[in-house]
């Protein structure tokens, strides 16, 4: 018998295809789970619209729902309901431990260049705020590259979305 709880547990086992230290549930991309008989409807909010991992995430969710004996219906929600604020506290801690600086909180207006160039961002390795922006863009759309002058280590900073 498929239940909402079992679906959430199964989805929490799926690693993010690009940052496998955190799960899709940690990432906050599962907005809702509903079960009606065997039919499992999942509302999935993509991180970045051009994220190449989107299809992989969708297919992996469908696969783990099938493994529970459910019939998956994964709806991709194309609106602004995902934000980096939806990454769970556990998810943020896992990111930091893996060398990714977690995102700053979202504000009403999108961030400005002066904010990115400010020293408000902490190095995930040594905790120093003596860091500078190296590149707004990084290995995936969701990350920027910064440099820590204190421990002389470049690091990846999650963009606030």
Interface residues with another protein (CB under 8 A)?
48-52, 78-83, 110-113, 116, 134-141, 145, 159, 161
| Residues 75, 44 contacting (CB under 8 angstroms) | yes
At its nearest, how many Å lie between another protein and the CB of residue 136?
5
Tell me 110's DSSP state: P
Instruction: Name the residue nearer to another protein (CB basis): 89 or 139.
Output: 139
Instruction: Name the residue nearer to another protein (CB basis): 140 or 153.
Output: 140
| Residues 88, 23 contacting (CB under 8 angstroms) | no
Instruction: Name the residue nearer to another protein (CB basis): 68 or 145.
Output: 145
At its nearest, how many Å lie between another protein and the CB of residue 141?
5
Burial class (CB in 10 A: 0-12, 13-18, 19+), 54: middle
């Amino acid at each position: 018998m498929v239940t909402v709880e079992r679906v959430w547990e199964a989805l929490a086992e799926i690693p993010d295809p690009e940052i496998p230290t955190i799960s899709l549930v940690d990432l906050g991309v599962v907005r809702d789970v509903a079960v009606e008989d065997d039919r499992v409807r999942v509302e999935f909010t993509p991180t970045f619209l051009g994220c190449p991992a989107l299809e992989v995430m969708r297919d992996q969710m469908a696969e783990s729902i099938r493994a529970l004996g459910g019939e998956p219906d994964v709806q991709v929600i194309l609106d602004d309901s995902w934000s980096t604020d939806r990454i769970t506290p556990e998810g943020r801690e896992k990111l930091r431990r893996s060398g990714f600086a977690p995102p700053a909180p979202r504000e009403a207006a999108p961030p400005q260049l002066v904010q990115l160039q400010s020293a408000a961002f902490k190095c995930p390795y040594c905790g120093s705020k003596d860091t500078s922006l190296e590149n707004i863009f990084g290995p995936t759309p969701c990350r920027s590259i910064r440099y820590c002058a204190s421990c002389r280590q470049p690091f990846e900073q999650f963009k606030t979305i």
